[in-house]
Chain A
Amino acid sequence: MALFQRIEAAVDAGIGRRRLGYALLALIIVYFLWFPNDTSQSNYAKTVFISGFFYAIMSSSWALLAGIAGQFSFGHMAFMGIGAYVAGLVARDGLAFLTAESISAVGAIFIGTLVAGLVGLVIGWLLLRLRSAYLALFTIAFSELFRIVMLTEYDYTGGSNGLSLRPLLQIADVDTARQVEYYLMFALLIVCLLALYWVSNSPIGLFLRAMREDEDAASALGVNVVRYKILVFVFTSMIVGLAGAIFYSDVGSERIIPEQLEILQMSLIIAYAVIGGMESLIGAAAGAFIARYLLEATRQVVITLPFGLTMADGSDAFVWEPGAWRYALFGLVMVLTLRFMRNGLLYPIITWFSGRGLVMKETVAKRESDEDHAGRLEVDNE
């Protein structure tokens, strides 16, 4: 611990925590930009990263909706699905006076995003008077309703076989294709994170947090709670609608299936955000990426035995395929996080770099040293 404190002091005296944080963030971004050029990495590894980016968008936008705005919605996956399904349907069947052929993949994605936003508007409006548990129940019902319709109307949606969207990129060479898909999804993640940060750092972010703390008080303080509640649903729905439409346009996956819209999948989005830090956009994104990576990496655990030991079957490695146990373990991590680190496992790291701990310490110190105020602090404890 003494060593850590010495490092801490050195950082504070030198580069400063915040700047060190930005430097590390820049390094991470450089690593992600370089990664597809690493010839030792397989296309499979890139695919894992691509889906990691997608889930990072899902969890970080949910963090804005639930962690910052306090709207604990289970409808996030459904909005993603709306974006993807609508993009697929208009590209196949056309839209009103537009023929299917005239709608490009980009056009289809655009329409999917727009419809996700429109549905977000309606749902946001319907949710105006609902809070906490009721909001969660409502959005579960909405999400299930959407999934079941997609499953049942198989003539249109392909039912459980899913629906193919118009491929966004048509690149014959598999290696190149994977590389372009990788950069596309990574760029989308960066753009989404920037947009989410812009909102959360603007006055809107402040109003959303005020509504999370106490909607009536926020309203009495002049915050147009109707406008901002609807706005946050429209905004996050469009982000995930866009991400879904792009991801399933053969960028990360070749088809959207109703199974993807099950409550279990939605719960995973929530779990990633909780583990990473529900009130931190970057924490939720990192949580999702790391969790996806670990869930993939632990499909098969191979431990080579030391000292020439061998297994009963003669092999020199212990092989374990945890299967669904990965998810059980993951659930356990989430339970422990909620119990012992409610702000997420990454929260201490993020606050350390942001220097927020420093500020807190300073104000306490200031208060202790300020005798004039010390008197005032005593009087009002009745």
Chain B
Amino acid sequence: MSEINLELNSIVMRFGGNQAVDHVSFSVIKPQLIGMIGPNGAGKTTLTNVMSGMLKPTNGTIYLNGRRIDGHPPYDVVRAGLGRTFQITRALGRMTVMENMMVPGLAIRPRARRADIEARAHEILDLLTIDHLTNELSRALSGGQRKLLELGRLLMLDPAVIILDEPFAGVHPRLQETIYSYIHRVHEDGKAIILISHNMGAVFELSQRLIVLNNGALIADGEPQAVKSDPAVIEAYLGEDED
């Protein structure tokens, strides 16, 4: 089990006059399964981009296992132990599924034997039920298969903290099962997972802790059942969903 200590201190991300992330602070100190919810435009993806190093926050700091990571490029953040998937999948189109897996494998462990990395890639692809697609170009994959490939690439990096941005969007229920078992498996491996999703059923089933964003601000953070009955959350978000 790898060390986990992620700490966000008053993160602000401003685009011109638009404050997409507004003084968000929270920390993750154990291999928890954390759901992150909030209405469209709440700032979930933007916060993910800030945490993963794609965006430099306007203000605030992020520490991961004692290292400051805010403003560092993504390839550094990933090495420090934080990996993410993309809401809109970003397969390396004109490369095969195996090559998509080898890129992170070789990038993180340049001295490892290629055959070992390949064996690991096969293991993961098998777990994700896409081992038969190994030699296909990834642009030939369906939307759902691409989601799985992204999850697979992430495992090649073996990060301590994983952010999944909408892993269920546009995915058939049967494939969702695969993603469920992936999440459980990764969690059992001792990793912290931040699960961003509009799929309330999945979020409440999987999460041990819930973080709610609204208009860029963190409005609740705690036990899912407690958060669910929080008046501020009901007002901002869940209220409309309840029937």
B partners with A: yes
Give the interface of A toward B (CB within 8 A). Answer: 203, 206-207, 209-210, 213-214, 216-226, 359-360, 363, 366-367, 370, 373, 376-377, 379-382
Q: Is B2 interfacial (CB-CB < 8 Å)? A: no
Taking CB as reference atom, which chain A residue is nearest B110?
A: A203
Q: Is B104 interfacial (CB-CB < 8 Å)? A: yes
Q: Is B132 interfacial (CB-CB < 8 Å)? A: yes
* B135 A363 Cβ-Cβ under 8 A: yes
* B144 A207 Cβ-Cβ under 8 A: no
Chain B hits for A219, CB < 8 A: 53-54, 73-75
The listed residue (B107, B136, B143) touching A221 by CB distance below 8 A is B107
* B75 A222 Cβ-Cβ under 8 A: yes
How far, in angstroms, from A381 to B91 measured CA to CA in the complex? 17
Taking CB as reference atom, which chain B residue is nearest A382?
A: B172
Chain A hits for B172, CB < 8 A: 379-382
- Residues 89-147 of B contacting A (Cβ, < 8 Å): 90-95, 99, 102-104, 106-108, 110, 129, 132, 134-136, 142-145
* A222 B78 Cβ-Cβ under 8 A: yes
Q: Is B214 interfacial (CB-CB < 8 Å)? A: no
Q: How far, in Å, is A70 (CB) from chain B's closest CB?
A: 10
28 contacts between A and B (CB under 8 A): A206-B99, A206-B102, A206-B106, A207-B107, A209-B99, A210-B95, A213-B93, A214-B90, A216-B74, A216-B90, A219-B75, A220-B83, A220-B86, A221-B78, A221-B107, A222-B103, A225-B75, A360-B135, A363-B135, A363-B136, A366-B132, A377-B142, A379-B144, A381-B142, A381-B172, A382-B143, A382-B170, A382-B171
Chain A hits for B90, CB < 8 A: 214, 216-217, 220
Taking CB as reference atom, which chain A residue is nearest B175?
A: A380
* A213 B75 Cβ-Cβ under 8 A: no
Q: How far, in Å, is A44 (CB) from chain B's closest CB?
A: 42
Q: Is B209 interfacial (CB-CB < 8 Å)? A: no
Chain B hits for A359, CB < 8 A: 135
How far, in angstroms, from A379 to B174 measured CA to CA in the complex? 7
Q: Is B84 interfacial (CB-CB < 8 Å)? A: yes
Chain B hits for A216, CB < 8 A: 54, 74, 90
Q: How far, in Å, is A43 (CB) from chain B's closest CB?
A: 45
Chain B hits for A379, CB < 8 A: 144, 172, 174-175
The listed residue (B93, B104, B129, B175) touching A222 by CB distance below 8 A is B104
Chain A hits for B104, CB < 8 A: 221-222
Total chain B interface residues with beta-carbon distance under 8 A = 42
* A381 B54 Cβ-Cβ under 8 A: no
Q: Is B45 interfacial (CB-CB < 8 Å)? A: no
* B95 A213 Cβ-Cβ under 8 A: yes
Q: How far, in Å, is B103 (CB) from chain A's closest CB?
A: 5
Q: How far, in Å, is A61 (CB) from chain B's closest CB?
A: 21
Give the interface of B toward A (CB within 8 A). Answer: 52-54, 73-75, 78-79, 83-84, 86, 90-95, 99, 102-104, 106-108, 110, 129, 132, 134-136, 142-145, 153, 156-157, 170-172, 174-175
* B132 A222 Cβ-Cβ under 8 A: no
Chain B hits for A222, CB < 8 A: 75, 78-79, 103-104, 107-108, 157
How far, in angstroms, from A360 to B107 measured CA to CA in the complex? 27
Chain B hits for A373, CB < 8 A: 132
Chain B hits for A209, CB < 8 A: 92, 94-95, 99
* B103 A207 Cβ-Cβ under 8 A: yes
Decide yes or no: A382 and B144 within 8 Å by CB, A213-B92, A214-B90 being known contacts: yes
How far, in angstroms, from A359 to B52 measured CA to CA in the complex? 37
Decide yes or no: A220 and B84 within 8 Å by CB, A207-B103, A379-B174 being known contacts: yes
Q: How far, in Å, is A131 (CB) from chain B's closest CB?
A: 15
The listed residue (B78, B106, B134) touching A220 by CB distance below 8 A is B78
Chain A hits for B95, CB < 8 A: 209-210, 213
How far, in angstroms, from A213 to B93 measured CA to CA in the complex? 6
How far, in angstroms, from A219 to B49 measured CA to CA in the complex? 12
* A224 B75 Cβ-Cβ under 8 A: yes
How far, in angstroms, from A379 to B95 measured CA to CA in the complex? 24
Chain A hits for B102, CB < 8 A: 206
Taking CB as reference atom, which chain B residue is nearest A222?
A: B107
* A370 B132 Cβ-Cβ under 8 A: yes
3 cross-chain pairs, A with B, having the tightest CB-CB distances, nearest first: A380-B144, A222-B107, A217-B90
Chain A hits for B94, CB < 8 A: 209, 213
Taking CB as reference atom, which chain B residue is nearest A370?
A: B132
How far, in angstroms, from A376 to B93 measured CA to CA in the complex? 21
Chain A hits for B78, CB < 8 A: 220-222
How far, in angstroms, from A370 to B136 measured CA to CA in the complex? 15
